[in-house]
């Protein structure tokens, strides 16, 4: 929520218009760096002009016009790209206010270009954050624990690859669309997950990342309103984000779901999740991967009103997800859900079938899940051993603090 001051209007305009303006300039100039620089100059100009002259009637159109004029000036000064200059002159050079919605699919094209499979995954995420969200190089570097210099090089290489490889600035059509859309969804899901449950470091959540993922997914859902998996992802993000403030204890440690203060859950976010989920259900002929995950998150969210969590229904959804994907983390989540629905022994039996290979071998998630079910079964010495095994693999400080607390609880309990 922003105020009615020029600064508040600029903050709101940045969130709403940055990606739209950059997308329009990339389409017209073909130069990613120029598009970002011109957009940045437009917002810098607005910071002084709006404070002096007041907020324009249509801030987005004002910013789009100024950004295009800045790009035009740069091309003029460089005396290059005459064909682009001619294109920019079409319809009048400078003074008329340009509508930011002149080409409504520009942002959609930009999303698909940023997330092209020819680019490495980390480059896709960085390029998406920079180009569509307007995060600075320093902010992206901080978010992913790299240096600004390394992040800048990654962005340059990604832009160069797009231009040299002739990656088209378009939304794929026909049979190519589902696979490419899945790649876009995967990038946004990764971005949200890294914000909601960071893979490293000292933070329980990183709202700057999860917030940007939600905003980008909402843009994609607005541009593709009949795509159930996009809507499913948006619903999942809202449901998960509703619990964000309850996931951290006063001492900064992690609070597990069943111990969270539900009074701190956001009813606004839950309502947004329900709305997106309902739209996804209406659009889906059969439930997809994201839609099923959204259903699971919804079942947790609905416990706020019912006072109980339907773990059996959650286990059923995870069983369907396991059929859809061989990811071992899904099999692990199903085992935990079965343990909560049918008793710890049933869950432990499923965990015994999981081999600690691949991602699970280096993760604390498998021994931590085993430890929790053993604790619930009152098999405290075995639980303590499993908690120690999890502590050997843990990567985040909040999770370490939580596991150490649990280890203390079961070590002092009679076995």
- pLDDT tens column, 6-24: 898 998 898 888 988 998 8
Average pLDDT score over the chain: 86
**pLDDT attached to residue 101:** 44
Tell me the mean pLDDT in the region 292-298: 97
121-135, 201-215, 221-235 — which is least confidently predicted?
A: 201-215
Chain position carrying tokens 């810098």: 44
Give 380: exposed, middle or buried? Use CB within 10 Å, 0-12, 13-18, 19+: middle
148-152, 311-315, 370-374 — which is least confidently predicted?
A: 148-152
Q: CA–CA separation, 164 vs 312, rounded Å?
A: 52
Q: In terms of pLDDT, which residue wins out, 176 or 343? A: 343
pLDDT at 161 over 50: yes
pLDDT at 25 over 80: yes
pLDDT at 202 over 70: no
pLDDT at 88 over 60: no
**pLDDT attached to residue 249:** 83
pLDDT at 85 over 50: yes
pLDDT at 100 over 50: no
pLDDT one-digit tens code per residue, 236-250:
999 999 999 998 888
Chain position carrying tokens 């997809």: 288
pLDDT at 104 over 80: no
Percent of the chain with pLDDT over 90: 52
pLDDT at 384 over 60: yes
pLDDT one-digit tens code per residue, 131-149:
888 888 887 887 777 889 9
Highest-confidence range of 6-15, 206-215, 277-286, 405-414, by mean pLDDT?
277-286
Q: In terms of pLDDT, which residue wins out, 195 or 301? A: 301
pLDDT at 102 over 50: no
Confidence of residue 386 (pLDDT cuts 50, 70, 90): very high
**pLDDT attached to residue 91:** 44
pLDDT at 398 over 50: yes
Confidence of residue 57 (pLDDT cuts 50, 70, 90): very high
CA distances from 284 to 47, 175, 217, 289, 297 (A): 44, 18, 18, 11, 18
pLDDT at 92 over 50: no
Confidence of residue 76 (pLDDT cuts 50, 70, 90): confident
Tell me the mean pLDDT in the region 264-291: 96
| First-residue to last-residue Cα distance in the chain | 53
Q: CA–CA separation, 88 vs 71, rounded Å?
A: 9
Q: CA–CA separation, 372 vs 378, rounded Å?
A: 10
Q: What tokens were used for 147? A: 């240096």
51-55, 78-82, 293-297 — which is least confidently predicted?
A: 78-82
Q: CA–CA separation, 339 vs 356, rounded Å?
A: 19
Q: If you ran DSSP here, which 8-state letter would residue 105 be given?
A: T
Confidence of residue 89 (pLDDT cuts 50, 70, 90): low
Q: If you ran DSSP here, which 8-state letter would residue 102 be given?
A: S
H or E element, residue 73: helix 59-78
pLDDT one-digit tens code per residue, 314-361:
999 999 999 998 888 999 999 999 999 999 999 999 999 887 766 677
**pLDDT attached to residue 94:** 38
Tell me the mean pLDDT in the region 370-377: 97
C-alpha Rg value of the chain to the nearest Å:
24
396 three-class SS: strand
Tell me the mean pLDDT in the region 408-413: 86
**pLDDT attached to residue 358:** 65
Tally: H helices and E strands in the chain = 20, 0
Q: CA–CA separation, 246 vs 241, rounded Å?
A: 10
Tell me the mean pLDDT in the region 362-368: 90
Tell me the mean pLDDT in the region 391-401: 89
Chain position carrying tokens 């050997």: 392
**pLDDT attached to residue 146:** 80
């Amino acid at each position: 929520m922003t105020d009615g001051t020029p600064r508040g209007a600029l903050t709101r305009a940045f969130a709403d218009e940055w990606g739209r303006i950059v997308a329009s300039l990339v389409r017209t100039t073909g130069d990613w760096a120029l598009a970002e620089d011109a957009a940045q100059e437009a917002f810098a100009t607005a910071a002084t002009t709006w404070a002096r002259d007041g907020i324009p009637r249509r801030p987005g159109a004002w910013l789009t016009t100024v950004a295009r004029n800045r790009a035009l000036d740069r091309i003029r000064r460089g005396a290059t790209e005459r064909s682009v200059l001619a294109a920019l002159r079409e319809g009048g050079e400078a003074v008329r206010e340009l509508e930011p919605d002149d080409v409504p699919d520009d942002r959609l094209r930009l999303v698909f270009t940023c997330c092209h499979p020819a680019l490495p995954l980390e480059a896709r995420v960085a390029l998406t954050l920079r180009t569509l969200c307007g995060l600075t190089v320093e902010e992206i570097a901080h978010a992913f624990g790299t240096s600004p210099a390394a992040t800048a090089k990654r962005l340059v290489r990604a832009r160069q690859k797009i231009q040299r490889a002739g990656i088209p600035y378009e939304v794929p059509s026909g049979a190519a669309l589902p696979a490419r859309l899945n790649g876009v969804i995967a990038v946004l899901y990764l971005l949200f997950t890294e914000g909601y449950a960071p893979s490293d470091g000292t933070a329980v959540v990183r709202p700057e990342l999860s917030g940007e993922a939600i905003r980008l997914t909402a843009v994609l859902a607005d541009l593709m309103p009949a795509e159930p998996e996009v809507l499913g992802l948006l619903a999942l993000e809202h449901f998960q984000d509703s619990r964000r403030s309850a996931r951290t204890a006063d001492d900064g440690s992690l609070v597990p779901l069943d111990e969270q203060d539900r009074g701190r859950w956001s009813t606004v976010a839950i309502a947004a999740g329900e709305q997106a989920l309902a739209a996804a259900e209406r659009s889906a002929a059969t439930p997809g991967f994201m839609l099923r995950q959204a259903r699971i998150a919804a079942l947790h969210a609905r416990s706020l009103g019912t006072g109980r969590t339907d773990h059996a229904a959650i286990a059923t959804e995870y069983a369907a997800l396991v059929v859809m994907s061989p990811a071992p983390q899904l099999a692990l989540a199903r085992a935990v859900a079965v343990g909560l629905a049918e008793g710890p022994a049933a869950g432990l039996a499923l965990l015994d079938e999981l081999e600690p290979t691949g991602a699970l071998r280096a993760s604390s998630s498998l021994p931590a899940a085993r430890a929790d079910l053993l604790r619930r079964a009152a098999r405290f010495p075995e639980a303590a051993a499993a908690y120690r095994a999890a502590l050997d693999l843990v990567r985040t400080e909040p999770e370490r603090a939580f596991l150490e607390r649990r280890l203390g609880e079961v070590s002092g309990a009679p076995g």
